[in-house]
Copies of this chain bind each other. A is one copy, B any other.
Amino acid sequence: MTTTPVPTERVGFIGLGTMGGAMARNLVRAGFDVTVWNRTPGRDTDVVALGAHGASTPREVAERSDVVVLCVTDTPQVREVLDAPDGLASGLRPGSLIVDCSTISPLATQEFAAQLGEVGVHWIDAPVSGGSEGAERATLSIMVGGDDADVARAQPVLAAMGSTITHVGGVGAGQWTKAVNQVILAGSYLAVAEGVTLGLNAGLDMTKVVGALSGGAAGSWILSNRAQRMIDNEYPLGFKISLHRKDLGIALALADHAHTSLPLARMAAAFEDELIAQGYGDEDNSALARVVRGDVVVPGDA
């Protein structure tokens, strides 16, 4: 038998949505002393029932924690949690460590890290992928940017939430990597949607065809796990189109910053805008196939 060392760092957690709530519960289960806060009240019931302490402000989270995990929607929400009255910044001490699991801009990430670095607070960015299922099962992939010592310090916290943890570079590199992930996803969904639509319009038994192609060069996670939704033309979650569109917005701004042309990602963003406008924003990302199938028409699209 091996014995699991008792976690010694006190962990704060801010943002108890579908992802964050599950991740915070896994931290409690792993034995950490956890203090939580969520902007919308009442979301902390489950994690408090497991033994977490419910704080009334981000400042209180900071005061009761050594490491604070963030899992909020976007860059403005991170800024608000940090800088609002009774925000995190007012309670953090030199030596505190922020682990930002939100998906936000890597450029803003570097600003936040620099701002807090002036008062001795450390920062790593650690956006995740793997969806709500990965969050529940603690099997998330976590893309980490930060200094070696900070990443090593966060390792027990990250290991309680995910199973594949890759330190890709300095502060911001995790967010850049997440942007690359979302760009590849955009084109991959469209690629599979085009193949599925062509096959359906030809009258092929597409379930059989997908089976035939999955083991070859056209094989992908999306072909194996999302093509059937496109065949059925039903798109249960999954990962919401509206969230992928938010992430693509970050990625496309980065592409401009890096003087990179991303025609597929731009096409996916335009398709997603139309899907959201027509009320499909809460469907799974595979609903991009609605546009390729011609059921949702994007104005100006050829």
Contacts and interface: CB of A to CB of B under 8 A. Distances in A.
Contact of A198 (B173, B179, B188, B301): B179
Interface in A206-231: 208-209, 211-213, 215-223, 225
Interface string A269-302: 0000000000000000000000010100000011
Contacts of A216: 129-130, 141, 164, 181, 221
A184 B213 contact: yes
Nearest to A209: B177
Contacts of A217: 129-131, 181, 185, 221-222, 225, 239
A191 B195 contact: no
Instruction: Give the interface SS of chain A, mostly helix, strand, loop or mixed.
Output: helix
B183 A194 contact: yes
A141 B219 CA distance: 12
Contacts of A194: 183-184, 187, 262-265
Given A177-B204, A187-B190, A216-B181, A198 B143 contact: no
Interface in A158-214: 164, 166, 168-169, 173, 176-177, 179-181, 183-188, 190-192, 194-199, 201-202, 204-205, 208-209, 211-213
Interface of A: 106, 129-131, 141, 143, 164, 166, 168-169, 173, 176-177, 179-181, 183-188, 190-192, 194-199, 201-202, 204-205, 208-209, 211-213, 215-223, 225, 239, 251, 254-255, 258-265, 267, 292, 294, 301-302
